[in-house]
């Protein structure tokens, strides 16, 4: 019966491989970009409606910002790879990982707000200068921080794999049955809760990169004399982004827990768990390197 629980993670992995192999990921990105353009056009019309005092325009504006943030998150970036990889690699509860995803999205909004406020009121920057700063400076910094998170996960996975895979007779040349300590991580060891430093590292590494769409919205509302609406709209965008990232968090934790339940406290579980951590770390390193490049 336990083996049946593996259906979900296997199906998710198969769907991912199929999507990459058939180009469905690119098709999804194109569709998301088209939806973003539609939301951008609707936002432009809504801002004009707000200026003319149309009733209900501001509520519709926040809803449009939320939708834009959700579809914008389907594209590259926004922490999906980091949150999903971390959820697969580490024994983190789904509510905690969802909170990390939420705070990471709001951290990105805060980065955009700070860049725009500093550019407008302190540095007298144009929109192009703000966007270039976000792209040329903040994105590589975020990529480097994300790469460090991936490196840490890969190191933990490699260390755990070595402890699990090394020959039982090679451990310090003594009797394993009577030495009084474990020679490999048990599933109970691997289920220990993550700490605040790990959560903070994830949030900061993702949040350093501001959303370009949020910068555009903030500058536009500034020129229209409605910066307050732009700030609230940016927060609504981040809530939409968080919605998708939380979905990724739930799927990753569900896949990991299904795998752990199916394997139980077996030797195979002690091999698979660090392997997942190593692979997730490698994927996050590759994602961070792509951002830097």
pLDDT in tens, 246-263: 999 999 998 888 887 777
Q: What pLDDT was estimated at residue 44?
A: 84
The stretches of 52-173 forming alpha helices (DSSP H) are 57-73, 80-89, 94-121, 127-133, 139-165
Q: What pLDDT was estimated at residue 9?
A: 67
Q: What pLDDT was estimated at residue 182?
A: 43
How far is 214 from 254, CA to CA, in rounded Å? 31
Q: What pLDDT was estimated at residue 137?
A: 84
How far is 191 from 186, CA to CA, in rounded Å? 9
Per-residue pLDDT tens, the chain, 293 aa: give them. 555 555 666 677 677 767 767 777 778 778 888 888 888 889 888 888 888 888 888 999 999 999 999 988 887 666 888 999 999 888 889 999 999 999 999 999 999 999 999 999 998 888 788 888 878 888 888 889 999 999 998 998 888 878 776 655 444 444 444 444 444 444 444 444 357 888 899 999 999 988 888 898 999 899 888 899 999 999 999 999 999 999 999 999 988 888 877 776 667 767 788 888 888 889 899 888 988 87
| Cβ(134)–Cβ(204) below 8 Å | no
Q: What pLDDT was estimated at residue 105?
A: 93
Torsions phi, psi of 55, nearest 5?
-65, 140
How far is 291 from 142, CA to CA, in rounded Å? 8
Please state the pTM of the whole predicted model: 0.81
């Amino acid at each position: 019966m336990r083996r049946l629980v593996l259906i979900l993670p296997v199906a998710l992995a198969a769907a991912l491989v199929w999507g990459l192999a058939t180009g469905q990921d690119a098709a999804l990105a194109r569709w998301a970009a088209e939806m973003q353009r539609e939301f951008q056009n609707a936002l432009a019309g809504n801002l004009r409606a707000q200026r003319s005092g149309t009733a209900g325009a501001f509520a519709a504006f926040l809803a449009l910002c939320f939708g834009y943030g959700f579809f914008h998150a389907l594209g590259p970036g926004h922490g999906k790879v980091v949150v999903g990889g971390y959820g697969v690699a580490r024994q983190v509860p789904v509510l905690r990982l969802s909170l990390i995803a939420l705070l990471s999205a709001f951290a990105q909004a805060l980065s955009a707000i700070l860049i725009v406020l500093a550019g407008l009121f302190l540095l007298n920057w144009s929109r192009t200068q703000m966007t270039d700063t976000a792209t040329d400076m903040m994105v590589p910094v975020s990529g480097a921080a994300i790469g460090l998170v991936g490196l840490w996960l890969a190191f933990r996975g490699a260390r755990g794999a070595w402890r699990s895979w090394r020959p039982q007779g090679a451990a310090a040349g003594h009797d394993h049955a009577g030495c009084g300590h474990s020679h490999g991580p048990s599933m109970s060891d691997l289920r220990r809760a993550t700490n605040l430093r790990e959560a903070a590292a994830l949030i900061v590494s993702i949040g350093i990169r501001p959303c370009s769409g949020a910068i555009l919205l903030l500058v536009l509302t500034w020129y229209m004399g409605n910066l307050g609406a732009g700030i609230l709209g940016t927060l609504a965008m981040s809530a939409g982004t968080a919605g998708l990232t939380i979905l990724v968090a739930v799927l990753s934790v569900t896949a990991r827990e299904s795998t752990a339940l199916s394997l139980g406290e077996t030797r195979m579980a002690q091999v698979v768990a660090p392997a997942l951590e190593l692979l997730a770390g490698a994927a996050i390193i590759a994602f961070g390197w792509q951002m830097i490049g």
